[in-house]
Amino acid sequence: MSDDPDFERSLSFDELLPARALERAGRALDAMLGTPVHISDATGDTRYGTPPDAADVTSMPLNHDLETVGALAAAVPPARLRPAAELLHTLMHANARYAMAASLHFQTIESSYVELQRQHAELQASEARYRELATSLEQRVLEQIGTIEEAQRQLYQAEKLASVGQLAAGVAHEINNPLGFMLSNLRSARDYLHDISGIQRPCRAGDIDAVQHYWRQENLDFVLEDFATLLQETQDGAERVARIVSSLKDFSSIDHGGATSVDLDAALVTVCDVATPKINPRAELIFQPGAPPPIPGDPAKINQALLNLLLNAAEAMPAGRRGHIRIRTSHTGHWARVDIGDDAGGIPAEVLPRIFDPFFTTHGVGQGTGLGLTVVRDIINAHHGRLEVDSHPGEGTTFSLFLPMDAEAAHD
């Protein structure tokens, strides 16, 4: 045994990431990234997980003291994998510090008092360096987390805008139709008023024969009857436009600032009203309300999740066939439930495990963000709920949302 502790000795993979610590870290990263990770040493031997075989795998080296000691790989974008690698770097540096401290302690037991003082000074300097490094690494990790969260917010906003964009044409058509016949009716009403006003002159003159002649000539019996019909149709059209605008406001929760509860049946009525122009050509909406009690939550986010599921079901319908989308609400115990099912043919077994992955889509390039179901999952998780999917190829798919109705259920 040398007289001086070996501060420059290269530490092995097992010293930097002991088996038990590696297992705990691996499981934590699996949960954080939402997909299995693979950790290997510098020789390529697997130390945790199973080597991924997906084409979109990202791999990052694990470095310690300028040396590559292993690699981290997972089927996620580099921007999501980088903070995970930083966390492993932090863990390795902490274990290296522990190993160095343990080695120093063991060797100083047999050292003289003077030597012990010298070694203690070296240890303090070393600890100061590692504290500085740990602080720097922590700051970098926090910055990376902030970057990821900001990117996630931007992506979710892009998904919301994409959903609204899909609805825009249909909603515009729904508003344009009543506006069109309202304008036509108003033009006809203006002409009718002109015809009716023409009877004023013979009336003022007291010429009954002229009044009767004008009445028959302009067919004022029909004009007055049709005028009332025009007014009723115009009123109906204005009320239809008002309902559409009200549904859009309810969907976006413009007038619900600070709302902390959601009536799921009312939310579904609103979302169906908004989405019907987009969905109606492809599927019939069948809603069976079960009157669950209100749930705590953000109305705008719940509406977004429900809309994404409805649009997803409609887009799954095969071309040339108008299908059915069945919506049902219910509640059991402390949980409210929403089932949204379709008869679009189901999801292939090989695709089902990936449907919630960010950017995953079965549509062509430019035909979707690949974030619709990811956003649904994250919204439900944020509300302490859960999302289940039941799909039968050749038949259809049902998504089931379970949302807590009170704090007790949220923390079960």
Report yes or no on whether pTM surpasses 0.95. no
Distance in angstroms (rounded) separating the CA atoms of residues 287 and 259:
25
Distance in angstroms (rounded) separating the CA atoms of residues 139 and 82:
14
Question: What are residue 82's phi and psi, to 5 degrees?
Answer: -60, -45
Distance in angstroms (rounded) separating the CA atoms of residues 157 and 139:
27
Per-residue pLDDT at 173:
60
Strands 283-288, 323-332: pairing kind? parallel
Q: What's the Cα-to-Cα distance from 195 to each of 4, 116, 209, 252, rounded to whole Å? A: 113, 114, 17, 46
Distance in angstroms (rounded) separating the CA atoms of residues 39 and 22:
9
Distance in angstroms (rounded) separating the CA atoms of residues 316 and 355:
13
CA–CA–CA angle 195, 201, 207 (5° rounding): 115
- The DSSP bridge partners found for residue 403 are 336
Distance in angstroms (rounded) separating the CA atoms of residues 139 and 160:
31
Distance in angstroms (rounded) separating the CA atoms of residues 399 and 193:
56
Per-residue pLDDT at 39:
93
Are 329 and 262 within 8 A, CB to CB? no
Question: What are residue 383's phi and psi, to 5 degrees?
Answer: -95, 15
Per-residue pLDDT at 343:
93
Per-residue pLDDT at 251:
61
Per-residue pLDDT at 190:
84
Dmax (CA) for the chain in angstroms is 136
Domain ranges, ordered by start, for the chain = 13-158, 257-412
CATH hierarchy code of domain 13-158? 3.30.450
Query: In tens digits, what is the pLDDT along the chain, a chain of 412 residues?
Result: 455 555 566 788 888 888 898 899 899 998 888 889 999 998 989 999 988 877 788 899 998 888 888 999 998 899 988 998 898 888 888 888 887 877 777 766 666 666 767 777 888 888 888 888 888 888 888 888 777 767 666 666 665 655 666 565 556 666 777 777 788 878 888 887 888 888 888 888 888 888 788 888 888 888 888 888 888 888 877 877 777 666 566 565 544 555 588 999 999 998 898 888 888 889 999 999 999 999 998 888 898 899 889 988 998 898 888 999 999 999 999 999 999 999 998 988 888 888 888 766 665 444 455 577 888 898 899 899 999 999 999 899 999 999 999 866 665 6
Q: Provide the CATH topology of domain 257-412.
A: Heat Shock Protein 90 (3.30.565)
Per-residue pLDDT at 280:
87
